[in-house]
Structure 1
Amino acid sequence: MRGMDDKPRSSPLVPDAVAAEIARHDWESVECGCGRSALHLEDTLWAAAEGHPAAFRALEGHAFAGKRLAPPAPAVSGVLMAVWEAGPPRRATREALLWTVLALLGTEDDGSSHEAGLYGQSTAFVRRGLPAIHREAAHAPGTVSAAYAGGIVDILGLRA
C-alpha cells in the first residue's frame, strides 16, 4: 500500500494499462467484503497482476463470498479484465484468473430491472474481454482454462 506522498507503485511485470486500472479506483473509500477498507486489496491485485495464481483466489472473502458480491467487486472485475487483456502468459495464472471471474459471475444478481447493482457493474467489465475469453474456450478444448472460459461465456449467455 502507498501513502499520499509515495510515488505510484510500479512493477516490470505489470503492464501500464493494468497499473492504471488499479490506480483509478478509490479503494480506501470502498468497504471490503471483510469489513475493512478495500485499500488492502491493492497489494493482492498487484500480486495477481504480476502473475501469482494464489493472489486471485485470495480475493474470495473480499470481492465475493459464497453467492454474494461485496462492494469492491466491480473495481476488482475491472482489474481482472485489464490483466486478462494484457495476456498473462502462464497457464496457471490464466486458470486462476478465469476461476476468479467465473466465481464472481456465479453470484446472485443484486440489481433490479432499473439499475445495474454490483453484479451488473462487474459483468460490464467482463463483457469487455469476452471475445478473448471466447477464443480461450475454443483454443484449447479439454483444458481447465477452456472449461472456465466456456463457463463464463455460458453465464453471460453469449455463446454463438
Structure 2
Amino acid sequence: MKLVEIEIDRHDWAQLRCACGQPASHVAADLLKMARADGEGEIDAEVLEGHAWTSAALFEPALPAVSVALAALADDVSPVSRRIFSELLLLLLAGEGQATYLAHEGRDLIAECTVAAKSGIWLLYAEVISGRCVDTASNSYEALTLIEEDVDRLDRVQAAAAENLRWDLR
C-alpha cells in the first residue's frame, strides 16, 4: 500500500476546494481508508460523493483522486480495495460537468482527469485481462471506453477478456 500513501502525500489536500465547502483534507483520509479496506461494506467509492463530485459536477479533489486510484491499481491492495478504486475511477471519469468556479478559472477538470487516467491506461488493460475480479475488470473496461482513443485495441481486449467481464460488457 506504499504507492497509495505516496500518491496521497504528494497533494496539498487542504488547499483543494471540496464540494462540501471544507478543505479536502478529509478526502485524503477517506482515500486511505479505501486503500486499507479488506472486507465488503467497510467503505465504498461513493463516500467521496459530495466531496470530489456531485451528481452534477466534479470538484478539485477529483483530479488527485484519479491519481490515487491508479496508484491503488498498481499497488498491493486487497481485492475489495482494488474494486473500490476501480469504481471510483469510473465514477470520476464519467463526470459530465465541473464546479462553476473552475470554468471561471479557465480549467477543464474533466479533460484533466482524462489525461491523468490515460497515464495509467495499461494498468486498466491489465485489470481487464487479469481475471481477478469481474467487477474490477468491468469497471476498468468501462473506464477505458471513456479514455481510450484506439478503438481497435479496446475491441480486441474486450474480445480476449470476454469471460472476465460482466455479461452486458462482453
TM (norm. structure 2) is 0.73
Is 1:34 aligned to residue 20 of structure 2?
A: yes
SS in structure 1 at match of 2:91: helix
Within 5 Å, give how 1:114-153 maps onto structure 2. 117-140=108-131, 143-153=134-144
Q: 1:17-63: per-residue Cα shift (whole Å, max 9, x none)? A: 32221112111111101111111112111112223561533112111
- 1:65-124 residue CA offsets vs partner (Å, 9 max, x unmatched): 11410111111111111111114241x222211111111111115599xx7621122222
> Which of these residues, 37, 62, 66, is aligned with residue 73 of structure 1?
62
Aligned residue pairs total 143
SS of aligned partner of 1:58: helix
Query: In the aligned structure 2, how far is the partner of 1:20 from the partner of 1:97?
Result: 16
Alignment match of 1:104 (pick from 77, 81, 92): 92
Q: Give the number of the structure whose residues are more often helix, by fraction.
A: 2
- Mind listing any 5+ residue stretches in structure 1 that lack a counterpart? 1-13
Distance 1:42 1:141 in 2: 27
Contact 1:69 1:104 in 2 (8 A): yes
Give the root-mean-square deviation of aligned CA atoms: 2.4
Q: Is the 8 A contact 1:63 1:70 kept in 2?
A: yes
Q: How far apart, CA to CA, are the structure 1 residues paired with 2:96 and 2:22?
A: 22
1:18–1:86 contact (8 Å) kept in structure 2: yes
Match of 1:88 in 2: 77
Give yes or no for contact 2:34–2:84 (8 Å, CA) kept in 1: no
User: 1:41, 1:141 → 2: CA distance?
Assistant: 27
What letter matches 1:86 in structure 2? D
After the TM superposition, which parts of structure 1 deviate over 2 Å for at least 4 consecutive aligned residues? 109-112, 138-142
Compared CA separation, residues 18 and 109, structure 1 to 2 (3 A): same
**Aligned-partner Cα distance in 2 for 1:139–1:67:** 33
Percent of paired sites with the same residue: 24
